[in-house]
């Protein structure tokens, strides 16, 4: 047991102390065993749960899930505090310093920004200066490799487009997508291994990368677009199962196509 005072309502400092106690001798065995690596996935899952609550516009769930994300932030900071490398106070100071530095139009700097578009231009320029990114290639390399792949592709393409490396329009990029699809067909027809040069893995990746580019040029979030496609497929596949009068594995491919068409007519979403 640890020395702890129960309260009807806890504040920020209480929260930090609770996490410290959980990790301290006499605290929770599970919490004390955790490392950055062991709770890495938890951080990601909690973040997605916040996004789910936002999509549902559920304020109660948002409040709870934002707390869970904050717990992950404090957990990682506490691990580092124990190692003597930085504290939660350093985390708070760092992000506060960043916000002041990157908003000179608000906090008395020389840059002006009368529109949100100019704010983003200034933000990107200040970010590159702050991080010592001397070229667009440096900025591209700095895009986190752990992002969902479609988001990473979109961010990379957005940065290179700002440097002038871009198609004239989305239709031009669509021509490139059609070229990549032809190369994918050739890879499939060749029967070569998936990881061979110009194999299926490489060509699928190229096609997805260009599809993300078309989304970026069209002002569409490619991750959101794919989620919507998944939702649409889920709804229509449910109709397929409802319409089927035998196991799906017993249908021929043309019969499955007809079944899908019938489902699509009933579910035009």
pLDDT mean over 81-109:
92
pLDDT in tens, 243-268: 999 999 999 999 999 999 999 998 76
CATH number of the domain bearing residue 206: 1.10.287.1080
CA distance readout (Å), 163 to 137, 145, 167, 227: 10, 21, 12, 30
Q: Please, which pLDDT band fits residue 269 given cuts at 50, 70 and 90?
A: low
Q: Please give the pLDDT value at position 249.
A: 95
Using alpha carbons only, give the angle 243, 247, 253 rounded to the nearest 5 degrees.
Answer: 80
Torsion from C-alpha of 248, 250, 256, 259, nearest 10 degrees: -70
Q: Please give the pLDDT value at position 50.
A: 96
Is the domain of 92 the same as that of 147? no
- Residue 149 domain-assigned (yes or no): yes
Q: Please give the pLDDT value at position 112.
A: 79
Domain count, the chain: 3
Neighbours of 5 (CB within 10 A): 6
Domain extent for 161: 133-220
The answer to whether 223 and 148 have CB atoms below 8 angstroms apart is yes
Per the prediction, the chain carries an average pLDDT of: 92
pLDDT in tens, 121-137: 787 788 888 888 888 89
Q: Please give the pLDDT value at position 163.
A: 87
Q: Please give the pLDDT value at position 115.
A: 86
Cα–Cα distance, 266 to 259 (Å, whole number): 11
pLDDT mean over 210-232:
94
Q: Please give the pLDDT value at position 257.
A: 95
Cα–Cα distance, 183 to 206 (Å, whole number): 9
Is the domain of 244 the same as that of 201? no
- Residue 30 domain-assigned (yes or no): yes
pLDDT in tens, 143-183: 889 889 999 999 999 989 988 999 999 999 999 999 999 99
pLDDT mean over 45-70:
95
pLDDT mean over 30-36:
96
Is the domain of 71 the same as that of 138? no
């Amino acid at each position: 047991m640890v020395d702890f005072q129960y309260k009807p309502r806890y504040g920020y400092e209480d929260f930090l102390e609770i996490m410290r106690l959980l990790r301290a001798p006499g605290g929770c065995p599970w919490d004390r065993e955790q490392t950055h690596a062991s709770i890495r996935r938890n951080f990601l899952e909690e973040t997605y749960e916040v996004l789910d609550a936002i999509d549902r516009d559920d304020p109660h769930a948002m409040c709870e899930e934002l707390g869970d994300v904050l717990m992950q932030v404090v957990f990682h900071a506490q691990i580092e505090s124990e190692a003597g490398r930085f504290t939660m106070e350093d985390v708070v100071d760092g992000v506060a310093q960043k916000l002041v530095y990157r908003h000179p139009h608000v906090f008395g700097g020389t840059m002006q920004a009368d529109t949100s578009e100019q704010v983003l231009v200034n933000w990107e320029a200040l970010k590159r200066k702050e991080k010592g990114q001397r070229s667009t290639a440096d900025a591209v390399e700095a895009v986190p490799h752990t992002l969902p792949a479609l988001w990473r592709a979109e961010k990379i393409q957005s940065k290179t487009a700002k440097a002038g490396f871009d198609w004239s329009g989305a239709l031009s990029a669509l021509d490139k997508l059609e070229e990549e699809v032809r190369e994918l067909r050739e890879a499939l027809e060749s029967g070569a291994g998936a990881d061979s040069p110009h194999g299926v893995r490489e060509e699928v990746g190229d096609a997805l990368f260009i599809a993300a580019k078309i989304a970026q040029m069209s002002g569409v979030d490619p991750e959101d677009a794919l989620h919507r496609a998944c939702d649409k497929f889920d709804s229509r596949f449910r109709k397929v199962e409802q319409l089927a009068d035998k196991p799906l594995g017993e249908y021929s491919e043309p019969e499955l196509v007809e079944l899908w068409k019938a489902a699509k007519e009933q579910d035009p979403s």
